[in-house]
Structure 1
Amino acid sequence: MEETNMTKPSARGKYFEDFEIGAEFISPARTITQTDIINFACLSGDFNEVHTNFEYCKTTDFGEPIAHGPLVYAVAAGLQYASGINDGTLLALLQNDAWRMLSAVKHGDTIRMFSKVLSKKETSKPDRGVVTFQRRVIKQDGTAAQEMTTTFLYRRRPADAANTK
């Protein structure tokens, strides 16, 4: 078997030092489909009629099945990853506060996430730092679907990469 010299790929994400308070980020967009909603019901076991029963939903203000709140949250997390911000630099989700469902997301709605850096602080460990964001999931018409304050643990820039971005 041939040996190869494999090096660790460089992170394309933002390090703790790269975040500035007040900086804003916009994720790519993704359309939520009925398949997403049904697959999430199957995955989570949440078959509440508001997500799965078209006839029942005709009797509600929604008129049709709506996406699960955690589904929208999960897709938004994936969109943030797709933006590259977290790629190779995110260590952990530490906290989610004031998670609010503001408007329903239905089949055909396209969402993206807007994030604003609220604060950052160093930790007692020199290789990591904490960044807190105000996050809003926005639909194609500009309506906010969800909002929350989320705190993450990020890698600090390695000493050997201090002069590169």
Structure 2
Amino acid sequence: MPGLYFEQFHEGQHFRHELSRTVSEADNTMFSLMSMNPQPLHIDAHFAEGTEWGQRLFNSMFTFAIMVGLTVQDTTLGTTLGNLGFQEASFPAPVFHGDTLRAETHVLSVRESRSKPDRGLVEFEHHCYKQDGTLVAKCRRMALMRKRPEEVA
């Protein structure tokens, strides 16, 4: 698996993830309707023209999901046992149809599990930027990570 084990993380580590994703009108409409969010700011072009943005906003919950998803390949693919929580999510700038998103991750802390010797906790801070470098989302995430398996002789 390309994901890293607990022992491979250290405080202060930084990842600039290579994957990026251009978001579309279809993405926005599909996600908004699938998540039961009828907010016209996301799905009604005529309504959105009358707002300060003048166009539909890309759904922030999908932005959040893409931000975290972009980080998985380099950090947790196949090595995480689960997310324990997300904190301090914020969306300082809007995302619109056609924007391309990329992510960066900082490791804030690492500690071994107090109850399970085969795992540890890694606290990440994820940042999501659009193509012009504008920060559009960020959050802190606590992940429960596998330790490297013992070698079998």
By the TM > 0.5 criterion, same fold? yes
- Structure 2 residue corresponding to 1:91, chosen from 62, 75, 81: 81
Question: 1:78: how far off?
Answer: 2.1
Instruction: State whether structure 2 residue 150 is matched by structure 1 residue 159.
Output: yes
Q: CA deviation at 1:87?
A: 1.5
TM-score by length of structure 1 reads: 0.87
Counterpart of 1:71, as a letter, is F
Which stretches in structure 1 are left out of the alignment for 5+ residues? 1-10
- SS of residue in 2 equivalent to 1:74: helix
In the other structure, the counterpart of 1:57 is 48
Larger Rg: 1
Q: After TM superposition, where is structure 1 displaced by more than 3 Å over at least 4 residues in a row?
A: none
Alignment-derived partner of residue 45 in structure 1: 36
Structure 1 residue identity aligned to 2:54: G
| 2:117 corresponding residue in structure 1 | 126
Matched, 1:26 2:16: yes
Q: 2:100 maps to which residue?
A: 110
The count of corresponding residues between Structure 1 and Structure 2 is 150
Q: Which amino acid aligns with 1:107?
A: H
**Larger strand share, 1 or 2:** 2
- Displacement of 1:158 in angstroms is 1.0
Identity %: 33
SS of equivalent residue, structure 2 residue 151: helix
Q: What residue is the counterpart of 1:6 in the other structure?
A: none
2:80 paired with 1:101 = no
RMSD: 1.2
1:117 is displaced (CA, Å) by 0.3
Q: Which amino acid aligns with 2:3?
A: G
**Contact 2:68 / 2:126 at 8 angstroms: preserved in 1?**
no
Q: Quote the Cα distance in structure 1 between the aligned partners of 2:16 and 2:85.
A: 21
Give the letter for the 1:150 counterpart: R
What is the CA distance between 1:12 and its match in structure 2?
A: 2.1
Deviation at 1:148, TM superposition (A): 1.1
What one-letter code is carried by the residue in structure 1 that aligns with 2:29? I
Shift of 1:55: 1.3
